[in-house]
Structure 1
């Protein structure tokens, strides 16, 4: 197919783009005869959602008049359109008189709005399809740039689709009521269990669409903690987990997981200094780890687009994802060349990660470094302002956990466990506070303190 064939084909298809003339008429008629539904309709329906140009002009005029507190009926609307030179453009006053004569039932207005939105979104899909075709002919633009732009458009389109399908308040309240009733019969966490009782009690688990930050100074145990959580999720819930490791290889991650599950130190595992009992543990654990739905991506040059593509790939194969983990934030790179400094880059990244969490309705846990400022204080317990190159971390995150370990806490019991304070510094929908955990450095194993 050459370009001229493509253009002629586009013209013929545009003549029969999806639309619903009757639904558009009924909506406009409802607005002219029932003024109290104008504001609600304006929140659900854009001007572009109307296919016919005269309907767009009528709807735009009604919205404008309502916003500016003009009285609205067929006479005032005719006068407004005539004053602004639009009356003939919409087909004359007869079009408006015909609209008000229909007297529609407004109880079904939402259904008509959904119909019009459905046709609008279908037209949007067709438009994106032609943009894909036309972009394929443009060889002067890098392919990666074309794909990134198209992906952004598809995400915007998906958000519009979700908005058009949003539930009414009564539907949401009914859903909440059913959820409360179910939990009263069989109590359960609102989110995914971390494997730590005290933490789950305070947070109600890692909840869908949440961006969760776990931050600490280097070598304090951030990666060990998240691997304990990952191991518990895949072992107990059997939900797939996607782990992006920008610092360690897949082999290093698996060694750590093997150490956690067998309680054998990494040093002994890597050196091969193993006894008979150790081999029994390893033989029991390896077949289990081989079957768990854990997907590790150790691409060190990771972008938001890479993460989105990987998520889609896993969801296509598994149909579900329980948790996404990124280790760690400061190693991520932005593909946006317009970003001027590192703070802006981190702000862009955290915002994009929060959007991903909402887009796929999956909790995303991101590890982050703390700045050196904490080392210069008498009380070295970290606070939110210690988040390194924080950008918009504090604003975008739903839950922020800060790790603290004091040297005075070392070897607090006979098992030489270290006491770790997990400080809940921010929780959008819950309390802040401190959770105490035991950390066995040799086997990188975390446990509840009590």
Structure 2
């Protein structure tokens, strides 16, 4: 297979270089499409890089200056001499089609990269002792990197990192929210929004409203902020999730909706809500027993197709694991690490719901702690932010002396780059919607 001529277009490469020489503004067009390594001929790679360097140094670019630069760097003869440079110029009457030629060069380079990766995949499949799923994940990652035309460097200079950091600080100067807003003001002020590459864990015991809170935040991001987000529901079907979203957004009783108890006036409200929700870039996947490998594959495709800005997973303990880990705790550890790696790979926050253990019977308070994360493994260590959802009223149902305040506590128990605190929320159970609670509702 590898004895065949790899995909390339020497004519397109020559046309790109000739256009860059005769019309220096074409360089700004070309550098957005191609890189030196996209050229098949080593001589073309050299000429391209010299032209780009000259442009970056604000040097005039033409046939004479290019020849002088190649002579100075002792590369003129290696690229074919003055005669070849002249031939490049004479072969291009106009630079008008440079973008078209540059796309050909890039596409041929991508095909060559696919051949290399494909050969590696075949070799790995023949020789590996790993699980087939692991090989598949590695193959998909390699192809995804080519498809996204972005292969990140493993190391960056301090100069480069500081420049990027300063630019980011300048862009966010005066902004309280530098990440993705949740829609809950105090939470956003506390976290500055959900940050790219972070894993945010929402821990709660059953019946505390984990799914409702995740859906409320996903709805805010997609509908209000128009950010594309993915919601992976392992517990409820996509139809159930959609019904919840519709009831919550329309502020319509979910039980009445399920029973079909909808008046003509109600239909108007529901249809208006559906009109707002329909164009929202919210993508719902209800694959049951989802594995980390499947989650990665689906999220990568959504990132490539829709540039999703956040991933929601409901919830951790329902995820399946097909590796060699023995105990469930080891499995959860591997799942947690895989999700954290996904957040970093895609550069988006992953908001992950997790079930909590019930606290010991002799604990004086049922208020949750991070140690209550069921089969927690390394969740606490992997997470950048850990929030715990708590409703004290739940534990006093039937107590005649207890005054029900309908206040949920969202305890920010861990924040790697910020303070911890508690955010108070009110839960409207009939429409499955959380709202910020006024201070006097939780005053002691």
What secondary structure sits across from 2:3 in the alignment? helix
Residue 328 of structure 1 aligns with which residue?
A: 315
1:398 aligns with 2:384: yes
Equivalents in 1 of 2:339, 2:131: separation in Å? 25
- The RMSD of aligned alpha carbons is 3.3
Q: TM-score, normalised by structure 1?
A: 0.66
Alignment partner of 2:340 out of 334, 340, 354: 354
1:132 aligns with 2:132: no
Residue 153 of structure 2 aligns with which residue?
A: 163
Equivalents in 1 of 2:133, 2:164: separation in Å? 42
**Structure 2 gaps, min length 5:** 7-72, 74-110, 398-403, 439-444
What secondary structure sits across from 1:401 in the alignment? strand
Map residues 170-319 of structure 1 onto 2, 5 A cutoff.
170-184=159-173, 187-318=175-306
Equivalents in 2 of 1:139, 1:161: separation in Å? 24
Kept after mapping to 2: 8 A contact 1:374/1:381: no
What secondary structure sits across from 1:333 in the alignment? coil
1:368 Cα shift? 0.4
Out of 146-155 and 274-283, give the one that drifted further. Answer: 146-155
Residue 65 of structure 1 aligns with which residue?
A: none
**Structure 1 gaps, min length 5:** 1-5, 14-103, 105-121, 411-415
Equivalents in 1 of 2:330, 2:143: separation in Å? 25
1:133 Cα shift? 3.8
Equivalents in 2 of 1:282, 1:380: separation in Å? 38
1:443 aligns with 2:431: yes
Kept after mapping to 1: 8 A contact 2:343/2:350: yes
1:385 aligns with 2:371: yes
For residues 205-237 of structure 1, what are the alpha-carbon distances to aligned partners after superposition, in whole Å with 9 as ceiling and x for unaligned? 111000010010001111111111011111111
1:432 Cα shift? 0.7
Kept after mapping to 2: 8 A contact 1:409/1:419: no
1:125 Cα shift? 7.1
1:142 Cα shift? 8.7
Equivalents in 1 of 2:128, 2:351: separation in Å? 39
Q: 1:143 to 1:368 in 2, by over 3 A?
A: closer
Kept after mapping to 1: 8 A contact 2:300/2:346: no
Equivalents in 2 of 1:323, 1:234: separation in Å? 10
Equivalents in 2 of 1:140, 1:357: separation in Å? 28
For residues 356-379 of structure 1, what are the alpha-carbon distances to aligned partners after superposition, in whole Å with 9 as ceiling and x for unaligned? 000000100110000022565221
1:305 Cα shift? 1.6
Equivalents in 2 of 1:135, 1:176: separation in Å? 39
